[in-house]
Copies of this chain bind each other. A is one copy, B any other.
Amino acid sequence: MTLKIYLSGEIHTDWRERIIDGSKGLDVTFSSPVTDHAASDDCGVAILGAEDNKFWHDHKGAKVNAIRTRHEIETADIVVVRFGEKYKQWNAAFDAGYASALGKPMIVLSMPEHQHALKEVHAAALAVTEEPEQVVDILRYTLTGTLPS
């Protein structure tokens, strides 16, 4: 059993690295959205031409990014969605809804102060974690049946 994990959501802290580092030795592959914030924001106009209107600037970028994110969610075995401290993070919640409708097993990585606001997302998840290491523990258990000692 090899598992392909998609790491969706917040791009400002090191949670992805902690999961990837912690999973060394496990039979997993990871993928993510483009996490370079500037590139992600400007990819549409950088490739397809500038826009005066901010709406279309963002629209082109969001669609170019969707080529990657849609593919990654649809081919993932497990989707991990991280809600961080800042910003609206509606794209994370959108990914969570998208993954749920496809029946993907979902692990949410969120903060206690967001518990009430995330209750619908949590209810659709198979696990709700607060630390990246818990995600690693779940991956290890899922692949090997071993619990943290």
Contacts and interface: CB of A to CB of B under 8 A. Distances in A.
Interface size class of A (residues with CB under 8 A): 35 or more
B148 A115 contact: no
Given A105-B67, A138-B64, A120 B91 contact: yes
Contacts of A17: none
Report how many copies the assembly holds: 8
Interface of A: 1, 3, 31, 34-36, 39-40, 42-44, 46-48, 52-56, 58-68, 70-72, 77-78, 83, 87-103, 105, 107, 114-124, 126-129, 134, 137-138, 141-143, 145-148
Contacts of A34: 141, 145
> Interface of chain A, helix or strand or loop or mixed?
helix
